[in-house]
């Protein structure tokens, strides 16, 4: 059996007195596209942030590719996020002062790649995601769908092992959202990228290989075994 890409066991995380996760357990296989679903306030985004090393759980364990994440210090988690993870959020969160290609190249620049080499790596992504010709535009000159594709390119440019996407189509109309999801799935499959996707939309979750449901800070099973046992 292959080693899991991500494994979280009994993860607990509170914000002040408010518990967000109350013992969440989840496992993600290499190359899998997993959708985390749940109603607003269920803890699904907190779970994604814990899996990605953005938040540290109060208790429980998180493993990535055989390494323990929850006990790493901030510098270790920062390196992990930069070298092994990519991110796409609901609102692309592009840097407005930079051009689209500079935004895509940004993770490479932050990792120490020289500017011309970083831009050389960034440019092919515009063709792959159907946004060629937009390389020199700034985020204010892009439509929502174009900006989200640029954000997707930025999330994938370092060839991360895992792409974390938090409501990546939440700000788009349904047709544009589906085009972005389609490209996300194609790009992830081509590069063997594992994807952890948070969404409250069933149509977005339907692009995933598997889905889990977070309710009241715990992961609910969606298979009949638990009910039938």
Partner 1 sequence: MSVPLTLLGLLEREPSHGYDLKRDYDTYFSRGRPLPFGQVYATLGRLARDGKVVISEVRPGVGPERKRYVITEAGATEFDAWLTEPIEAEPHLQSVLFSKVVLALMLGRPAHDYLDVQRGAHLERMRQLTEIRRSGGLVDALLADHGLFHLEADLRWIDTTTARLDALRAEVVKS
Q: How far is the CB of 212 from partner 1 (least distance, A)?
A: 10
Applying CB under 8 A, which residues contact partner 1? 39, 182, 185, 202-203, 205-209, 211, 213, 220-224, 226-228
Closer Cβ to partner 1, 139 or 169, answer by number: 169
Closer Cβ to partner 1, 95 or 202, answer by number: 202
Q: How far is the CB of 117 from partner 1 (least distance, A)?
A: 34
Q: How far is the CB of 71 from partner 1 (least distance, A)?
A: 33
Residue with tokens 């992830």: 188
Q: How far is the CB of 20 from partner 1 (least distance, A)?
A: 19
Closer Cβ to partner 1, 44 or 63, answer by number: 44
Closer Cβ to partner 1, 120 or 200, answer by number: 200
Closer Cβ to partner 1, 14 or 179, answer by number: 179
Q: Which residues contact 79 (CB under 8 A, 6 or more apart)?
A: none
C-alpha triplet 50, 56, 61: angle, nearest 5°: 75
Closer Cβ to partner 1, 21 or 219, answer by number: 219
Distance CA 50, CA 145 (A): 28
Cβ atoms < 10 Å from Cβ of 158: 18
Q: How far is the CB of 201 from partner 1 (least distance, A)?
A: 8
Q: How far is the CB of 179 from partner 1 (least distance, A)?
A: 11
Question: With contact defined as beta carbons under 8 Å apart, do 158 and 111 qualify?
Answer: yes
Distance CA 78, CA 59 (A): 20
Q: What is the DSSP string of 86-133?
A: EEE-SS----TTSBHHHHHHHHHHHTT--HHHHHHHHTHHHHHTT-TT
What's the gap between Cα 53 and its chain centre?
12
């Amino acid at each position: 059996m292959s080693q899991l890409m991500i494994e979280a066991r009994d993860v607990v995380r509170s914000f002040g007195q408010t518990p967000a996760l109350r013992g969440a357990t989840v496992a993600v296989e290499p190359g899998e596209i997993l959708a985390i679903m749940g109603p607003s306030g269920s803890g699904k985004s907190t779970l994604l942030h814990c899996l990605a090393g953005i938040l540290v759980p109060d208790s429980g364990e998180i493993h990535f590719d055989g390494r323990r994440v929850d006990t790493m210090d901030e510098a270790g988690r920062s390196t992990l996020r930069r070298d092994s993870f990519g991110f796409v959020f609901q609102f692309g969160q592009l840097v407005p002062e930079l051009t689209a290609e500079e935004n895509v190249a940004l993770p490479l620049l932050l990792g120490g790649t020289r500017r011309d080499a970083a831009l050389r790596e960034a440019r092919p992504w515009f063709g792959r995601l159907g946004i060629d010709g937009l390389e020199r535009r700034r985020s204010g000159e892009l439509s929502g769908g174009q900006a989200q594709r640029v954000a997707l390119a930025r999330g994938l440019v370092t060839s991360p092992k895992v792409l974390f996407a938090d409501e990546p189509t939440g700000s788009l109309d349904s047709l544009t959202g589906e085009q972005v999801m389609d490209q996300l799935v194609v790009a992830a499959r081509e590069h063997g990228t594992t994807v952890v996707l948070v969404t409250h939309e069933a149509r977005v979750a339907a692009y995933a290989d598997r889905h889990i449901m977070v309710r009241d800070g715990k992961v609910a099973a969606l298979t009949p075994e638990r009910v039938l046992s």
